[in-house]
């Protein structure tokens, strides 16, 4: 049985490269998520709990329905 040993440091360089690629992908996902409003409902629920503790919390579906209706009724905040 022959064991091939990689040159010193080549494996750690590959691992570092994979980690960097992973961080890059995670950053891209975070950016797209923030652009599309992926955390908006969670932030809204946190806001209600902090500032309006007696208020009823809408479901996520109700939140998005209201948000899109507001955007349609007030198009001044849109670019298109």
2 located within any domain: no
- Do 30 and 43 have their domain in common? no
Number of domains observed in the structure of the chain: 2
Residue 4 within any structural domain of the chain: no
Q: Are residues 22 and 46 in the same domain?
A: no
45 lies in the same domain as 68? yes
Contact 62, 56 (CB under 8 A): no
In this structure, is residue 80 part of a structural domain? no
What would the pLDDT profile of 21-61 be if each residue is shown by its tens digit?
999 899 988 888 888 888 899 999 999 999 999 999 999 99
Contact assessment for residue 64 and residue 44, using Cβ atoms and an 8 Å cutoff: no
Quick: pLDDT tens for 11-31.
788 888 889 999 989 998 888
Q: Which range marks the domain in which residue 25 is found?
A: 9-36
| DSSP codes of every residue in the chain | -----PPTTHHHHHHHHHHHHHHHHHHHHHHHHHHHTTTHHHHHHHHHHHH-TTSPPPPHHHHHHHHHHHHHH-GGG---
């Amino acid at each position: 049985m022959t064991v091939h040993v990689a040159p010193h440091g080549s494996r750690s360089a590959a691992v570092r490269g994979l980690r960097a690629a992973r961080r890059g992908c995670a950053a891209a996902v975070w950016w797209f998520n923030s652009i599309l409003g992926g955390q908006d409902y969670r932030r809204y629920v946190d806001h209600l709990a902090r500032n309006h503790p007696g208020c009823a919390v809408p479901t996520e579906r109700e939140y998005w329905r209201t948000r899109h209706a507001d955007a349609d009724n007030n198009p001044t905040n849109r670019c298109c």
